[in-house]
A and B are shown apart, each in its own frame.
Chain A
Amino acid sequence: RKEVEQDPGPFNVPEGATVAFNCTYSNSASQSFFWYRQDCRKEPKLLMSVYSSGNEDGRFTAQLNRASQYISLLIRDSKLSDSATYLCVVNQKTSYDKVIFGPGTSLSVIP
């Protein structure tokens, strides 16, 4: 089993739709969590850090469920500019800081 797994996608949604991505992680020692977005042939950019109580930034809401070991990202009122790949990132603290990226979920928002 991969350490970080994401919905396989791709997701194709109309403008204005609400879309949710899920991410699961296997190691309960994981301590911090992030969502990044990556546009085609560009570098990943930090979208949100995921706090234990859940957090919201405009149209984006991130939730963490430590008991079930999953993280979610909800995008409301999708815009064309939201089209990208969304990467789930998990940071484990073992003898060193281990940062693991999920494979990403591709989103296309269609006019």
Chain B
Amino acid sequence: AQSVAQPEDQVNVAEGNPLTVKCTYSVSGNPYLFWYVQYPNRGLQFLLKYITGDNLVKGSYGFEAEFNKSQTSFHLKKPSALVSDSALYFCAVSLWGTDKLIFGTGTRLQVFP
């Protein structure tokens, strides 16, 4: 069965420092991987996706993610965190030929001034 794991419920980082939000996946096939962000009482906003090609994917708001097939990971990164990046982040996976997404449980990012 397909699954996504976000091992950290919360990540704390100081403003200006680099941040990483971790995601690992388990699928029986080639994965399509996504990152979304959710602000309080709002829907999810798409940040970036990996389909094929370059393992480093660049997305919105300066975020990027690195696909690592051997470690089945897709960690979200940003070189310099902003207080406004504080939100709930979701990793999701789907398989080619299906449009159903499987979401992780989310990681709350807190950036301190």
User: Do A and B associate with each other?
Assistant: no
* Chain A residues with a Cβ under 8 A of chain B: none
